C-alpha cells in the first residue's frame, strides 16, 4: 500500500503479506493530500496505522453512535524531519497477516493518520479509513478474498420526496439501513458520483460497490462534453481510490449509438484505459441493453459486463430471460456478465387479482421479481442489481398514475412504505428472522377466493384465516402462495413463527374498488 501526497512526491509504501491469498489486494494504494500550506522550510510528519478494536460495536449503528468513543491500538509510528523541497522521502511499513475487510460478514477497517507539525504544534491532520481485501470476477462468479460470493444487489438513486438531491446525512443513513435490512450485499451507485459519506457508510456496512459517472444513453459529440466526462471519471477514481467497498469502475450506461458509434466506442475505450492506468487493481464495467450481441465491440471493451433486462415489462416475457442469458453465455470469449438492472413499476395504490405487465400493480411487480430472480439463480452470472431500491424523479415520465416519477422502487419515494417485493428479497437474502403476509394495501376483494403470499426465512410456521389454522409448515422455504375463501366482511390472515407474527386484512366486497386500477 502506498500513502502518497498529492502535493509532493513524498510517500510511504506498505507491504501487505497474507498467506493463502492468490490474488493481489485491490486496496494497494492510499492517496492522501497532506495539506501542507504553511510557508515553512522544515516539517515533521508522523504516521500512525491503527485498527478499530471495537469495530464490531460501531459498524452498523447510527451515525451519532458510529462517531462515538473508540479504542485505538497504534501499530507503528514513523517520524522524519526533512526540508520541504526534498522529494522522494518515504518509509515502509509491513503488516503481517492483516485483518481482511470481508464484506458484510466482517467489514474490518483500519485508519491511517497523517499529522503535520510546525515545531511542536500540530498544524494539520488528516485521516482515512481503509481495508485490505482481494476481489476478482470470472465466468464462475465474484470472489472476495478468494471466496465465491453471489452479489445480490440494488441500484440506488439518492433523491427523495420534497428534498430532491438536497439530502441530509440522516437521509443517507436511512437509505443504506433499508438496503442492509433487505439483505443486499452489493450496490450500484447509479448514475453519478455520490457523497464521500456514502462510500464511508458502504465501507462500514460491508457493501460491494459499483460506481460510475453520468455517461448515459445520449452522447453529445463535442470536445467540451467529452472532456467533461473524462474529467469526472478521473476525479471519481482519484477521490475514491481508498475505499475497500469499491469493486469496479463503471464506464457507461445504455449507450444508444445514435449516429456517433465510433466516437462513443473511443470514449468508452479511453475511460477503460484511464481506469487501468490510475488503478490497475480494479476492474472496469458497463451497463448494456440487450439489443447488443455478445460479439459486438461495446460489450467487450470493459473487463466485465452488466446487462439491463426489462423482459416482462418493456418488452418480451419474463420467461425470455433464461434463453437470452444462455445465448449470451454461449460465446466462449464473452466477458463475465451480471444483470445491472431489472424490475417493474408498481404504484402502491394499484392492485389486481390477475396481475399483468403494465398494470402498475404491486402484485405484478412482486410476481416479476420472484420469477426473474428464480431464473437468475440458475445461471452463471456474477451479480444482479434490482432497478431500483427507491422510487425516483424523472421529469419526462407520466405513467403509472404519477407524473415525473419512476415507480420501480422497492420502497416509496418518501421511504415510508416497503412494497411486497421488498419482503420477498428479505426472505431470499436476509438471515434476520422475520415473517410477512403480502397484500396489505389490497384490502377490498371482490372475489370469494383470493391468493396471497407468506414470505419468511423461518422453517416452522403456521398460517391462519380468522384464527383458524389453514397451514402448518415444518420445512418452509422463503415463500409460498396460499389460496383461501373469504367470509363476508373483514377477514384476517395471519402467520406465526415462534415469537414472530404478521397479518393482513382483507374485506369481501361486492364490487371491485375502482381506485385499484391504473387510469393510463
List, for residues 280-334, the tens digit of each pLDDT value: 999 999 999 999 988 899 999 999 999 999 999 999 999 999 999 999 998 867 7
The DSSP 8-state label assigned to residue 358 in this structure reads: T
Looking at the fold, whether 330 and 311 belong to one and the same domain comes out as yes
**Final residue belonging to a domain, choices 432, 461, 476:** 432
Give the chain's domain count: 3
pLDDT tens digit sequence for 458-488? 999 999 999 999 999 999 999 999 999 999 9
pLDDT at 248 over 80: yes
Is pLDDT at 373 greater than 70 in this prediction? yes
Residue 296 placed within a domain: yes
Residues 224, 97 share a domain: no
Tell whether the model's pLDDT for residue 23 goes beyond 80.
Answer: no
What pLDDT score does 498 carry?
A: 98
334 vs 123: CA distance, rounded Å: 53
C-alpha grid cell, residue 263: 466516437
Q: What gap in Å lies between CA 234 and CA 271, rounded to an integer?
A: 9
Cα separation values, 114 from 47, 117, 260, 329, Å: 5, 10, 47, 48
Percent of the chain with pLDDT over 70: 82
Residue 84 lies in a domain: yes
The yes-or-no verdict on residue 396 having pLDDT over 90 is yes
CATH number at residue 457: 2.60.40.10
Q: Tell me if 121 is assigned to some domain.
A: yes
Contact 139, 374 (CB under 8 A): no
Structural domain of 82: 43-52+75-130
The cell for 239 is 477521490
pLDDT, tens only, 322-363:
999 999 998 867 789 999 999 999 999 999 999 999 999 999
Q: So what's the pLDDT on residue 22?
A: 36
* Same domain assignment for residues 172 and 118: no
Per DSSP (E only), the strands in 208-298 are: 208-212, 246-253, 283-288
Q: Does any domain span residue 19?
A: no
Q: At what angle do helices 420-429 and 362-376 cross, to 10 degrees?
A: 30
Do 246 and 295 sit in the same domain of this protein?
A: yes
Q: What is the pLDDT of residue 106?
A: 97
Q: pLDDT at residue 216 above 50?
A: yes
* 307 shares its domain with 453: no
pLDDT in the model for residue 76: 54
Q: Of the residues 130, 148, 174, which one is the last residue of a structural domain?
A: 130
Same domain flag for 257 and 378: yes
Last residue of a domain, one of 65, 99, 130: 130
Q: Mean pLDDT lowest for which of 83-92, 104-113, 401-410, 474-483? A: 83-92
Q: DSSP assignment of 100-146, as one string?
A: BEEGGGEE--EEEEEEEEETTEEEEEEEEEE-B--EEEETTEEEETT
- Residue 186 domain-assigned? yes
Amino acid at each position: 500500500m502506498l500513502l502518497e501526497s498529492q502535493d509532493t512526491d513524498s510517500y510511504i509504501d506498505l507491504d501487505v503479506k497474507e498467506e493463502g491469498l492468490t490474488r493481489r489486494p485491490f486496496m494497494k494504494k492510499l492517496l492522501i493530500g497532506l495539506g501542507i500550506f504553511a510557508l515553512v522550510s522544515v516539517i515533521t510528519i508522523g504516521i500512525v496505522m491503527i485498527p478499530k478494536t471495537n469495530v464490531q460495536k460501531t459498524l452498523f449503528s447510527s451515525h451519532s453512535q458510529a462517531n462515538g468513543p473508540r479504542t485505538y491500538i497504534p501499530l507503528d509510528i514513523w517520524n522524519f524531519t526533512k526540508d520541504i523541497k526534498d522529494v522522494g522521502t518515504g518509509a515502509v511499513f509491513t503488516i503481517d497477516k492483516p485483518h481482511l475487510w470481508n464484506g458484510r460478514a466482517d467489514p474490518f477497517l483500519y485508519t491511517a493518520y497523517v499529522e503535520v507539525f510546525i515545531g511542536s504544534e500540530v498544524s494539520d491532520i488528516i485521516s482515512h479509513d481503509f481495508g485490505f481485501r482481494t476481489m476478482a470476477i470470472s465466468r464462475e462468479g465474484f470472489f472476495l478474498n478468494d471466496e465465491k460470493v453471489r452479489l445480490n444487489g440494488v441500484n440506488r438513486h439518492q433523491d427523495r420526496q420534497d428534498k430532491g438531491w438536497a439530502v441530509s446525512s440522516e437521509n443517507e443513513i436511512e437509505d443504506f439501513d433499508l438496503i442492509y435490512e433487505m439483505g443486499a450485499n452489493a450496490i450500484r451507485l447509479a448514475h453519478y458520483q455520490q457523497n464521500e459519506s456514502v462510500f464511508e457508510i458502504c465501507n462500514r456496512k460491508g457493501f460491494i460497490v459499483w460506481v460510475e459517472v453520468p455517461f448515459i444513453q445520449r452522447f453529445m459529440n463535442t470536445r467540451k462534453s467529452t472532456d467533461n466526462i473524462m474529467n469526472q471519471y478521473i476525479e471519481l477514481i482519484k477521490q475514491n481510490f481508498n475505499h475497500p467497498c469499491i469493486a469496479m469502475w463503471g464506464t457507461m450506461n445504455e449507450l444508444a449509438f445514435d449516429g456517433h458509434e465510433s466516437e462513443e466506442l473511443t470514449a468508452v475505450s479511453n475511460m477503460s484505459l484511464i481506469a487501468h492506468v490510475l488503478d490497475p487493481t480494479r476492474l472496469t464495467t458497463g451497463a448494456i441493453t440487450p439489443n447488443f450481441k455478445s460479439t459486438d465491440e461495446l460489450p467487450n471493451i470493459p473487463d466485465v459486463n452488466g446487462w439491463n433486462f426489462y423482459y416482462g415489462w418493456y418488452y418480451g416475457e419474463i420467461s425470455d430471460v433464461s434463453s437470452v442469458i444462455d445465448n449470451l453465455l454461449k460465446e466462449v470469449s464473452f466477458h463475465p456478465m451480471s444483470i445491472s438492472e431489472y424490475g417493474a413499476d408498481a404504484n402502491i395504490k394499484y392492485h389486481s387479482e390477475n396481475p399483468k405487465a403494465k398494470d402498475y400493480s404491486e402484485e405484478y411487480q412482486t410476481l416479476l421479481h420472484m420469477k426473474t430472480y428464480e431464473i437468475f439463480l440458475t445461471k452463471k452470472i456474477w451479480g444482479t442489481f434490482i432497478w431500483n431500491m427507491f422510487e425516483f424523479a424523472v421529469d419526462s415520465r407520466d405513467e403509472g398514475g404519477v407524473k415525473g416519477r419512476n415507480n420501480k422502487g422497492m420502497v416509496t419515494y418518501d421511504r415510508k412504505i416497503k412494497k411486497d417485493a421488498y419482503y420477498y428479497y428479505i426472505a431470499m437474502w436476509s438471515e434476520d428472522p422475520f415473517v410477512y403476509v403480502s397484500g396489505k394495501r389490497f384490502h377490498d376483494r371482490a372475489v370469494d377466493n383470493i391468493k396471497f403470499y407468506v414470505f419468511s426465512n423461518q422453517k416452522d410456521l403456521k398460517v391462519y384465516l380468522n384464527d383458524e389454522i389453514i397451514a402448518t409448515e415444518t420445512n418452509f422455504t422463503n415463500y409460498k402462495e396460499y389460496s383461501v375463501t373469504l367470509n363476508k366482511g373483514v377477514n384476517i390472515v395471519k402467520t406465526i413463527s415462534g415469537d414472530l407474527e404478521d397479518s393482513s386484512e382483507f374485506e369481501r366486497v361486492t364490487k371491485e374498488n375502482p381506485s385499484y386500477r391504473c387510469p393510463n
